[in-house]
Amino acid sequence: MYEIQNFIKIYEKSFIENWDLPALTEYPTGHTLSYGDLAYHIALTHLFFESIGLKPGDKVVVCGKDSIAWVMAYMATVTYGAVIVPVLSDFNPVDITHIINHSEAELVFISETVWEHIEPEALLRVKAVIGLESKNVLHESAGVEVMRHMRLLKRRFNRRYPDGFSSNDVRYIDRDNSELAEINYTSGTTGFSKGVMLTGENLAGNVCFGISSELHFRSSRALAFLPLAHAYGCAFDMLTPLAVGSHITLLCKTPSPRVLLKALSEVRPNLVICVPLILEKIYKNQILPMISKGTMRWTLAVPFLDSLIYSKIRKKLIDAFGGEFEEVIVGGAPLNHEVEEFLYKIKFPFTVGYGMTECGPLISYSPWRKFVPGSSGKVLGRMEARILSPDPENVPGEICVRGTNVMKGYYKNPEATELVLSDDGWLKTGDMGTQSRDNVLFLRGRSKTMILSGSGQNIYPEEIEAKLNNMPFVAESLVVERDGRLVALVYPDYEATDRLGVTGDDLQSAMENVRKELNKLVAPYERIAKIILVPNEFEKTPKRSIKRFLYTH
């Protein structure tokens, strides 16, 4: 069982011990800060907080793309004892304004490109708005004199540290782990987001698990390309590596496959944290066409030759991810079963974890050598899970969890909290699954998306969609119920149709073939009655999950 340390003191210790090591680098510029540099900027920010009268427990919003400035704002806030409110910059301006007001933020760090679309007079409690990259004062409320405090900051800092700022000066607030540390507004697929209250204990639960698992280690290399405002990227691309002295390279560009593969080859990370979409795209666009060719299909049927080809594909994949990683951890959404089966068959070092923002985020994980295909790993040592089912091993039921990582509740929303959190600490996840006797979880889908067939069978649309998304000419899909029948909404893969000259009636005919092929692969009660083509990509959350609620009525 891993020990839980004080969340803030973890970083006090790490910054002192790793003072001269590189902490953060921006890709592709190469701009780098050491742990000592980071501690210096945090101390400067703490003095600024003091100057404007910010108190421990006050709320601070950070909103912008991943950058060194974003990490500094986050770390300065939590080590001061204030409450950080990370906001995805992809939220629309109305939602960003609502979150700033709902969280009762006193201070906002925001990218100027996002700020352009915010109405300053709509902000209720905010003392000051600071440009995340420029450090310019973008807005201040009457009587706070933020600009004056900003001008005098360096002079005051030199007066406080006349001999210069050194590792001996790193002293962070004594704040109990039970105190609120973060409010994370979920990018929910079922409507407007709720503010998840995470304590120091919740965050330390994730970080201390990461430390004990040696996912990151001193001087290891990490490439952060998931949004740090999201719990998954925050915990394992930022908080855990900074706790142990890793060197984090922040991908300050949109992670298109081309950009990402170039960065991976240059950084050569020791661990890769990613969402399923990345592996699924590589499989569909590069591996599937290669292994589907006639001669290759024949070759793969020959026992000795198949292992030879699989080892070559594995090496190619490992090299594409930088060649020096221990494993690829997939999380944030379920991995397509066909992709998972193939990766397992070729012995690619990957594992699938399970979590949610409400657990900051981790619930279950197994190292890749112990990974059970189709599972989401083993429930963490400081967490417990139970399935609301008469036969938890075989009949799916809602997954409930309890333990160190479980949130305090939803901010200023006791009704929503009561719906998911029991008095004795059990959290209803909203996910359906089964659980083996040795605590391994197997996910089936969301309880909210489950469709009950006319004959009483439980249908999990995500499982049908996973098969459909691997079919020709399908970019993405949603399976919904219409008039008692299952219908698939499909956004076509226009890149493939253009390449092969498939248009209009041909595409309709191709989709009918896709429907017939799909129906051979699913249970009789899961068969699709009709495919409806949609002209545009499905609307998504910033985490790239489809907003199902927009299409189910």
Length of the chain: 553
**Token pair belonging to 230:** 């999201």
What are the backbone angles phi and psi of residue 115, rounded to the nearest 5°?
A: -60, -30
The residue among 441 and 303 whose pLDDT is bigger is: 441
Same CATH fold, 451-550 and 272-324+327-446?
Answer: no
Q: Checking phi first, is residue 475 left (phi over 0); if not, alpha (psi -120 to 50) or beta?
A: alpha
Rounded-to-integer distance, Cα 422 and Cα 188, Å: 21
pLDDT band at 131 (very low <50, low <70, confident <90, very high): very high
Phi-psi region of 483 (alpha: psi -120 to 50; beta: other; left: phi over 0): left
Look at the block and give the residue holding tokens 């592996």.
Answer: 279
Give 360-380 pLDDT, tens digit per residue. Answer: 999 999 999 999 999 999 999
Whole-angstrom distance, CA of residue 358 vs CA of residue 495? 38
Helical axes 68-80 vs 35-51, angle rounded to 10°: 60
- Residue range 210-227, pLDDT digits in tens: 999 998 999 999 999 999
Query: How much is the average pLDDT of 154-183?
Result: 98
Residue 347 confidence (pLDDT) above 60: yes
Mean pLDDT of 65-78: 98
Question: What's the pLDDT at 190?
Answer: 42
State residue 546's pLDDT score.
85
| pLDDT at res. 277 | 80
Q: Is 435 left (phi over 0), alpha (psi -120 to 50) or beta?
A: beta
- Taking residues 114-137, report their average pLDDT: 96
Helix (H) or strand (E) holding 25: strand 22-27
Buried b (16+ CB within 10 A) or exposed e, 166-188: eeeebebeebebebbbbbbbbbb
Find the mean pLDDT for residues 316-334.
Answer: 92
Which fold would CATH assign to domain 451-550? GMP Synthetase; Chain A, domain 3 (3.30.300)
Q: pLDDT digits over 480-518, tens only?
A: 988 888 999 999 998 888 888 888 788 999 999 999 999
Looking at domain 7-251, its CATH class is alpha beta
- % of the chain exceeding 90 in pLDDT: 74
Residue 368 to residue 387: CA distance in whole angstroms: 24
Q: Quick one: pLDDT at residue 552?
A: 75
Instruction: Say how far apart CA 130 and CA 238 lie, in whole Å.
Output: 22
Q: Where along the chain do its domains lie? A: 7-251, 272-324+327-446, 451-550
CB 441 within 8 A of CB 363: yes
Digit-coded pLDDT (tens) for 73-103? 999 999 999 999 999 888 889 889 999 999 9
* pLDDT tens sequence across 407-439: 999 999 999 999 999 999 999 999 999 999 999
Residue 265 predicted with pLDDT over 90: yes
Q: Residue range 259-284: average pLDDT? A: 91
3-state SS, residue 381: coil
φ, ψ (nearest 5 deg) of residue 367? -60, 155
Q: Which of 363, 444, 365 is nearest to 397 (CA)?
A: 444
Q: Is the dihedral of CA 33, 39, 42, 43 positive or negative?
A: negative
Q: Which of 272, 205, 268 is CA-nearest to residue 406?
A: 205
Instruction: Determine the pLDDT at residue 456.
Output: 66
Kindly state the helix (H) or strand (E) to which residue 512 belongs, with its residue range: helix 504-521
pLDDT for the residue numbered 143: 83
Residue range 272-324+327-446, CATH number: 3.40.50.12780
If you average pLDDT over residues 302-321, what whole number do you get?
A: 87
Q: How far is CA 226 from CA 223, 258, 356, 490, in A?
A: 9, 16, 15, 26
Residue 459 confidence (pLDDT): 85
* Average pLDDT for the chain: 92
pLDDT of residue 187: 59
**CB proximity list for 481: less than 8 A, separation 6 or greater:** 451, 487, 552
Confidence at residue 189, expressed as pLDDT on a 0 to 100 scale:
43
Question: What is the tens place of the pLDDT at every residue in 17-57?
Answer: 999 999 999 999 999 999 999 999 999 999 999 999 999 99
Question: Rounded to the nearest 5 degrees, what angle is found at the Cα of 33, between the Cα atoms of 152 and 13?
Answer: 90
Mean pLDDT value across residues 253-261: 88
